[in-house]
A and B are shown apart, each in its own frame.
Chain A
Amino acid sequence: MTKTIKAAFFALAVPVALNAGLVIAAGDSSRGQTIATQGNGAGALACSMCHGPDGKGNDAAGFPNIAGLNAQYMSKQLHDYAKGTRKNPIMQPFASALSDEDIQTVTTYYQNLGSQTTAVTHQTADPDNQGEWLAMRGDWDNVIPACNQCHGPNGMGVGKSFPALAGQHSSYLKAQLNAWRRGTRDNDPNQLMKVIAERLSDKQISVIADYYAKLPGQLAARSNEKESR
């Protein structure tokens, strides 16, 4: 069915508008997938080698989960790797080998793998759960707003500048917060993350990274509990 529709679409679209974005877009998703699974044939190896077949990355290796991340956010990161404004010895050569169009297609591909949390029922933060409190209420005595104030309810991400945190690997989140603290990562808009990372304690970094890594599982368990009631 889908194939028939696509074929019909092509038959109509190609003769009418040879330069149409539609045609390129139709080619895009498979091109994005090709880059993700086989590389771009110009120096960028398959993303899936590190980020896994489903884009979920690897906690032990510190490879981030990129499935469902905002495409524009990922695009900026890849451009920053290529320019050297975000430093990573593994990503730098791959990002440099990707054309602008490659970056657009491959980030769209990963955004569409969408597995990030979307459950946003309001719940009240528990003051005795340090991670949850920091995520939902912050630590204002130390001028630390709640993470969710920018990253959205349940850390699901907001627009192109505030990436999803829920479901991200703990090792990656810790590494990034520490990089901001040390000044080895500084490609955030207006240093909004840097100033907050600098105020976070080691304990807070550890607790918040674990909180977001486990959050999707906890939300799923909570909603199952409700359903079975």
Chain B
Amino acid sequence: MNLWKPAFPVALSAFTLLVLSAHVQAADTKVDYQKQLPAGPAGEATFEPPLDRDIPDNQYGEMVRLGRDLFVNTQQLRGKNVFNDQNCVNCHLDAGRAAHSAPMWAAFGMYPAYRSKNDKVNTLTERLQGCFTYSMNGIPPEAGSETLVAMETYIHWLSTGAPVNQALPGRGYQKLEKPEGGYDRNRGARLYTEQCAVCHGDDGNGQRVAGQVVFPPLWGDGAYNWGAGMHRVNTAAGFIKASMPLGKPYTLSDQDAWDLAAFINSHERPQDPRRRSQDSLDSTAETFHNHDGFYGKEVDGKRLGDHDNYGENPGVASQ
């Protein structure tokens, strides 16, 4: 995003030709913030993470357990690092172990990695901080904080025996080719009522008991924000195909998964935090949202993302 700002002082300097060429250059070298890491290779996931009963009884093991417990009950960090109703385990099923549910054992060896999302090489720490910023609509824990050390230790332990710098089958979410005829959010709406509403509610708000989230919200203030990977229709379609409805993986057609993803992700959710440093919805959409998503698009007469509702996120850490 910094690339754009230097363009303006140059523009003001009245060297028209230079300006023009600078603009052309900027367009040519425009960072692709949209490109995702390549999908994992095809084939059955064969990697087997270690079992919880084999977590060692030492300081390392204590950190593994702490990280695991944060992973399955991330709401412990509500109001500090988490400002919505999500837990890591909602999208990374079986405590980050399930294949095609972006399993942790397939992620560990892939970092550090270049990510176009922020145009730099990201460590695993930074990748996890990204999850907090977007998926948890939160404020990332600091590098080296107990929270992140614990989560990284858990992920390290889950990856025991996994190769480094090699994409494993089962990594990330299932890659689903976009249907030839595209996707249809109205058809998705009907499917949602039939297949999803029993758990996530007609209003997409999920369900809670005794103050605990059981079924996570899919849109609204409690959901992942407009910057989270899951708001992309392709990502959500892949997740839905391989993991939803719970206990019935691979029962929906590819078309169903895309239509459902389109319906779910064409609802309001907390603002993309990158909007704070952008001048307009247009520039945010243009810079960060040139992908299969509904951010900035008009749905039912309203432009999605045209608001300054950041959910519960106060914007800065409270300390």
Contacts and interface: CB of A to CB of B under 8 A. Distances in A.
Given A127-B52, A137-B95, A189-B198, A120 B211 contact: yes
A149 B243 CA distance: 13
A97 interface: no
B247 A196 contact: yes
Interface string B105-127: 00000000000000000000000
B282 interface: no
A145 interface: yes
B94 A137 contact: yes
B98 interface: yes
B97 interface: yes
Interface in B36-74: 51-53, 65, 69, 73
A143 B53 contact: no
Interface in A106-165: 118, 120, 122, 124, 127-128, 137-138, 140, 143-145, 149-150, 152-153, 156-159, 161
B93 interface: yes
A141 to B, nearest CB: 9
Contacts of A25: none
A2 interface: no
Interface in B161-192: none
A218 to B, nearest CB: 18
A158 B248 contact: no
Given A145-B247, A195-B247, A150 B212 contact: no
Given A122-B73, A196-B247, A153 B198 contact: no
Contacts of A157: 209
B215 interface: yes
B3 interface: no
Given A140-B94, A192-B248, A195-B247, A118 B198 contact: no
Top 3 nearest A-B pairs (CB, nearest first) are A127-B53, A140-B94, A127-B52
